[in-house]
Amino acid sequence: MADTGLLEALLRLLEKVDGGIESQDVAADLGVDHQLIVGAVKSLQALGEVISAEQKSSKRWELTGEGCEIAEQGSHEARVFNAIPDKGLPQNELMLTMTVKSYWITKGSSFSTTITKQETELTPEMIASGSWKEKKFKPYNFEAMGVAPDCGHLHPLMKVRTQFRQIFLEMGFTEMPTNNFIESSFWNFDSLFQPQQHPARDQHDTFFISDPALAHEFPQDYLERVKQVHSEGGYGSQGYKYDWKIEEAQKNLLRTHTTAVSARMLYKLAQQEKFTPVKYFSIDRVFRNESLDATHLAEFHQIEGVVADYGLTLGNLMGVLHEFFTKLGITKLRFKPAYNPYTEPSMEVFSYHEGLKKWVEVGNSGVFRPEMLLPMGLPEGVSVIAWGLSLERPTMIKYGINNIRELVGHKVNLQMVYDSPICRLDS
Ligand code: PHE
């Protein structure tokens, strides 16, 4: 809003005349720059019907005959010459001095020489006191453009996930459906030959669901074979020799690893009339009842790759791990024997970190046990190699985030999400 003194000075000038006044003349009369008068006219227009103003041709003298103009004001050259002050003038400013935007100003239907500020909002106080009756309200401008909403932003984890997904797709893998966070203990543990007394199945490591607490639908004959391999053995195995209980397998939980999904998919594959080799992957959320610290939360994402075919060996697993990690820009790998209930042999994967100058763990892997695959009904001779890693770790390294709470959870700075660059894994 232009300064009120100027607005009222303009209104007093206008009060004295019968018709209207030229904004240029107002500027001359008041001894101010014409642009200030233009601003004052716009402010007064915004107040409603106080004045009416008509913008006049912005190139006034061009509209008159050239000859009479020159007679009045001199030749074009002379005008340009005269418009240039002694100290000189940039060309664009010279153009401005030749262009005239002025207004023809007349009184409006609610003309007055004093300015009352228009209210933009009807407040509860105005209603309560009745003061709204005396106020002037600014009309809504329904033509005004709304504030453009910010576009959506992908979280860094989702950007890195996209890159991992791309790597798997390049390697010919198909994505598994991972949209069930709630799983039964049966698929999360039992189908994977994880014994019912295993410490990971404790309340301390697993979030169990209280409602619905139990799952009821299982492939019955497969469940019987799982029970048998745990309690008595079979398929060349001695089993664990304990009293396997359906009640334990029925317990619902938040899945602790995406290997539960891999188990479901391998069981489904085994139900095919004829076995076909497959390459599957998944990248999704898992939940563990862990103590929280700078690098651990109770939920995180796992990246998992699974390959099933006749005669796959540990050599194939090392080969596919090399291919996968090379695509991530990690070429130096080492393998360390490890233990998982469902893989034998199992290997932890280490890569040499050039920055830290040491070997760091980057994943876990193995060959699924026959005690897991044969009860599913997969043919003898088919082996399944698999590996898993977390999505958070490479994301934190990539984006230089040291505390996981800055990446996930209610303390995340949204600006960090907006500003985070697209992830590119150097390969
Ligand atoms: N499920 C394992 C984990 O949670 C990862 C893994 C997947 C290991 C596949 C071996 C094979 O850490």
Q: Where are the domains of the chain?
A: 4-133, 156-419
Ligand 1 centroid from CA 243, angstroms? 26
Q: Which atom of ligand 1 is nearest to the CA of 258?
A: 1
Is 299 buried (19+), middle (13-18) or exposed (0-12) by CB count in 10 A?
Answer: middle
Ligand 1 centroid from CA 338, angstroms? 11
Ligand 1 centroid from CA 131, angstroms? 71
The reply to whether ligand 1 has any atom less than 6 angstroms from the CB of 196 is no
pTM of the model: 0.68
Residue to substitute in 304, 306, 318 for testing ligand 1 pocket (most ligand atoms within 8 angstroms of CB): 304
Ligand 1 centroid from CA 35, angstroms? 72
The reply to whether ligand 1 has any atom less than 6 angstroms from the CB of 239 is no
The reply to whether ligand 1 has any atom less than 6 angstroms from the CB of 259 is yes
Ligand 1 centroid from CA 188, angstroms? 12
Provide DSSP, 340-387.
ETTEEEEEEEEEEETTTTEEEEEEEEEEE-HHHHHHHTPPTTEEEEEE
What Cα–Cα distance (Å) separates residue 347 from each residue in 122, 339, 384, 385?
Answer: 70, 8, 14, 11
Token pair 């418009």 in the structure block, residue? 83
pLDDT value of residue 58: 59
Q: What is the CA radius of gyration of the chain?
A: 39
Kindly report the CATH number that applies to the domain delimited by 4-133: 3.30.1370.240
The reply to whether ligand 1 has any atom less than 6 angstroms from the CB of 257 is yes
Cα four-point dihedral sign 103, 104, 109, 114: positive
Amino acid occupying residue 363: G
Tell me which residue has its CA closest to atom 4 in ligand 1.
257
Residue from 323, 326, 357, 321 nearest 336 by CA: 321
The reply to whether ligand 1 has any atom less than 6 angstroms from the CB of 244 is no
pLDDT value of residue 424: 80
Provide DSSP, 286-300.
EE--PPPBTTB-SEE
The reply to whether ligand 1 has any atom less than 6 angstroms from the CB of 258 is no
User: To 5 degrees, how large is the angle CA 103–CA 106–CA 112?
Assistant: 125
Tell me which residue has its CA closest to atom 8 in ligand 1.
365
CA atoms of 53 and 127, how far apart (whole Å): 34
pLDDT value of residue 151: 83
Sheet architecture: strand order including 343-353:
174-175, 278-287, 299-310, 382-390, 358-368, 343-353, 333-340
The reply to whether ligand 1 has any atom less than 6 angstroms from the CB of 388 is yes
Q: Which atom of ligand 1 is nearest to the CA of 364?
A: 8
CA atoms of 139 and 47, how far apart (whole Å): 9
Ligand 1 centroid from CA 364, angstroms? 6
CATH 1.20.120.330 applies to domain 156-419: no
Q: Which atom of ligand 1 is nearest to the CA of 259?
A: 1
Maximum CA extent, the chain: 116
Tell me which residue has its CA closest to atom 6 in ligand 1.
388
CA atoms of 163 and 156, how far apart (whole Å): 11
Ligand 1 centroid from CA 349, angstroms? 11
Tell me which residue has its CA closest to atom 10 in ligand 1.
365
Ligand 1 centroid from CA 278, angstroms? 18
pLDDT value of residue 387: 98
| Angle, in degrees to the nearest 10, between helices 76-83 and 91-98 | 120
The reply to whether ligand 1 has any atom less than 6 angstroms from the CB of 340 is yes
pLDDT value of residue 62: 41
- Please give the chain's pLDDT, 427 residues, in tens: 467 889 999 999 999 998 899 998 999 999 998 889 999 998 898 887 889 998 886 555 544 467 777 888 888 888 878 878 888 777 767 666 585 678 888 888 888 888 877 888 899 999 999 999 988 888 888 888 888 877 888 999 999 999 999 999 999 999 999 999 999 999 999 999 999 999 989 988 999 999 999 999 999 999 999 999 999 999 999 999 999 999 999 999 999 999 999 999 999 999 999 999 999 999 999 999 988 888 889 999 999 999 999 999 999 999 999 999 998 888 899 999 999 999 999 999 999 887 778 898 989 999 999 999 999 999 999 999 999 999 998 888 888 888 999 999 888 998 899 888 888 876 5
Cα four-point dihedral sign 162, 165, 167, 169: negative
Ligand 1 centroid from CA 342, angstroms? 9
Q: Which atom of ligand 1 is nearest to the CA of 306?
A: 9
